[in-house]
Structure 1
Amino acid sequence: MFKGFIYNKKVAPYVFILPFILVFLVFFISPMINTIIMSFQNVLPGSREFVGLDNYTKLLGDKVFLIALANSFKYMIWTLILLIPIPMVLACIINSKLMVGREFFKAALYIPALTSVAVAGIVFRFSFGEQATSLMNQFTALFGMEPYKWLKNGTTGFIVLLVLACWRWTGVNMLYFLSGLKNIPAELYESADIDGASTWQKFRYVTIPQLKPTTIYVLTISIYAGLAMFIESYMIYNGNNSPNNIGLTIVGYLYRQGIEKNAMGYASAVGLVLFIVGMAINLVQLKLNGTFKKED
């Protein structure tokens, strides 16, 4: 009887998706519900006290949280500006028939993504150290410049984070765009050649429109990645306490409240705000990009 139930054509699809449903319920829905409940509580070891909207009210007047929020937004926007057009152009160059050593450049640009973010953060911390022996200060010394405290200045510290992001993720996004380029029919470019289109015109009127699904996907994951950045900043600043919070992000602030200060209720409110903000931004951009439009 049980065997007949398993092999039933109506039941079999549900049996196959059951592991995913169970994992989704246990590792996503259950923690999400618990986070929502905890955000309205003052959570202490062994006790919970309902405090209503106090955690959210506290967030609105928390200057450090607003700094972390601004840092995360700035980081997200700049990574979108850099990590979408640059990988797209590199993908087009590598995909060109005139490109020599295509496989070498693909591998070379992807290798940084295989590096541990912790190791990469440490390397960048020493490279941009304030000592005269650090790599960047040795380089600038060639031009007669004095040693500079790169990570203690808001602008240069932020640039270091962007350089690390570009170093690690340019190759990954480039491969996404390369996959998208492989799906563009060659007939479109042949027609453009017959019409006398230039390289720029083919890129603008053929490549970019045809890469729209890939671009939307890269944009979506990049928004979440930008808002969720934490380990890079933590490793570069050797902890979660950067000078004047110039490297503090929303996730870093969540970590500070939940782990370092053991204020799990307040940290839950921070995490829930992060989730809502990230979801809202992506829903808006998906709507503007026509993702939810019905096909004719």
Structure 2
Amino acid sequence: MIKRFIYSQKVAPYVFILPFVLVFAIFWAYPLLDSFQMSFQKVALGQESSWVGFSNYEKLLSDKVFLKALLNSFAYMLLTLVILIPFPLLFAVLINSKLMWGKEFFKASFFFPALTSVVVAGTIFRLMFGEMEGSLINSFLGLFGIDPVKFLKGQVTGFIALLALATWRWTGVNMLYFLSGLKNIPDDYYEAAAIDGASKLQQFFKITVPLLKPTSIYVVTISIYAGLAMFIESMMLWNGNNSPKNIGLTIVGYLYRQGIEKNNLGYAAAVGIVLLAITMIINVTQLSLSGMFKKEDQSS
């Protein structure tokens, strides 16, 4: 009876999707609903929780440190989009070119940083961008007669170090995404365009870019999420969650500060809900503008 029930054609689809539904419900839906409830409470470990209504959200609007973290996260997200979309695309096109030699070597070289622990990478970059005269970057600048720079103590220079870490770590990953998309573009398109007299630049903008649209949208979507959710890189670069004047503080870092360091779980939950809402709004907006939600016209 049980065997017949499991192997039933009506029941089988639900059996196959049951693991996903359980994982989604236990590890995503339930924590999200619980966090949403906590955001309207004053919650701390070892203390009894109490309802405070919208007080946590009202406090966020006037919290200068939160606004600073929000601005840092937005700036980091936008700058990584500017760097980690066009450059990986160009590298992918170059590696995919028939004239390129050592393709596998360059693929492995670009992807290798992604395999490195972010803790190790952050520590190395912290030493590279150290304020001492003997640090790697200052030693290089010294060759041009430039005095040592305290990179991790300034807003602009700190972001340069942070973006350098992000570029080194994620360029190869995005490049492989674009390479996989390029493999799906038939060579016949380029051959036909070349016969018609189209230059390499025209082929890039008229063939490569339009046909890579699904891949580009995917890379932009995950890059937006990664930019807003960045935390460990900043924490390792500044050797903690307390950078000078909060120049490296992100939204997730502020959530960690409130929830873990200050044991203010209700307020931290409100920060998390705001972060989720912002991420969803940005991604849904960019997906809508890119036409992902439009239904294709079906010819009768």
Tell me which interval the TM-score lies in, with the shorter structure as reference length.
over 0.9
For the aligned residue pairs, the C-alpha RMSD in angstroms reads 0.6
Structure 2: distance between partners of 1:50 and 1:109: 51
Q: Which runs of 5+ in 2 are unaligned?
A: none
Q: Structure 1 runs of 4+ off > 2 angstroms?
A: none
The alignment of Structure 1 onto Structure 2 pairs a total of residues equal to 296
Structure 1: distance between partners of 2:145 and 2:87: 32
**Partner residue, 1:24:** 24
Structure 2: distance between partners of 1:277 and 1:289: 18
**Partner residue, 2:122:** 121
Q: How does 1:127-166 map to 2 (within 5 A)?
A: 127-166=128-167
**Partner residue, 1:178:** 179
Q: How does 1:180-219 map to 2 (within 5 A)?
A: 180-219=181-220
Shift of 1:186: 1.5
**Partner residue, 1:262:** 263
Q: Which secondary structure does the structure 1 equivalent of 2:50 belong to?
A: strand
**Partner residue, 1:35:** 35
After superposition, the C-alpha distances for 1:135-174 in whole angstroms (9 at most, x for unaligned) are 1111111122222211101101001111100100000000
**Partner residue, 1:13:** 13
Structure 1: distance between partners of 2:116 and 2:273: 30
**Partner residue, 2:50:** 49
Shift of 1:279: 0.4
Q: Which secondary structure does the structure 2 equivalent of 1:47 belong to?
A: coil
Q: How does 1:40-79 map to 2 (within 5 A)?
A: 40-44=40-44, 45-79=46-80
Shift of 1:188: 1.0
Structure 2 residue identity aligned to 1:20: F
Structure 2: distance between partners of 1:195 and 1:48: 72
Q: Which secondary structure does the structure 1 equivalent of 2:295 belong to?
A: coil
Structure 1: distance between partners of 2:70 and 2:12: 46
Shift of 1:190: 1.3
**Partner residue, 2:251:** 250
Structure 2: distance between partners of 1:126 and 1:159: 14
Structure 1 residue identity aligned to 2:263: N
Q: Which secondary structure does the structure 1 equivalent of 2:193 belong to?
A: helix
After superposition, the C-alpha distances for 1:103-144 in whole angstroms (9 at most, x for unaligned) are 000000000000000000000000100111111111111122
Structure 2 residue identity aligned to 1:169: W
Shift of 1:191: 1.3
Structure 2 residue identity aligned to 1:158: F
Structure 1: distance between partners of 2:161 and 2:133: 17
Structure 2: distance between partners of 1:195 and 1:209: 18
Structure 2 residue identity aligned to 1:283: V
Structure 2 residue identity aligned to 1:230: F
Shift of 1:46: 3.9
Structure 2: distance between partners of 1:10 and 1:246: 57
**Partner residue, 1:294:** 295
Structure 2: distance between partners of 1:146 and 1:227: 34
Structure 1: distance between partners of 2:13 and 2:296: 27
Structure 2: distance between partners of 1:53 and 1:145: 52
**Partner residue, 1:93:** 94
Structure 1: distance between partners of 2:91 and 2:144: 31
Structure 1: distance between partners of 2:67 and 2:285: 22
After superposition, the C-alpha distances for 1:50-107 in whole angstroms (9 at most, x for unaligned) are 0000000000000000000000000000100110100000000000000011100000
Structure 2: distance between partners of 1:141 and 1:43: 52
Q: Which secondary structure does the structure 2 equivalent of 1:146 belong to?
A: coil
Structure 2: distance between partners of 1:145 and 1:220: 39
Structure 2 residue identity aligned to 1:13: P
Identical-residue share of aligned pairs (%): 66
**Partner residue, 1:102:** 103
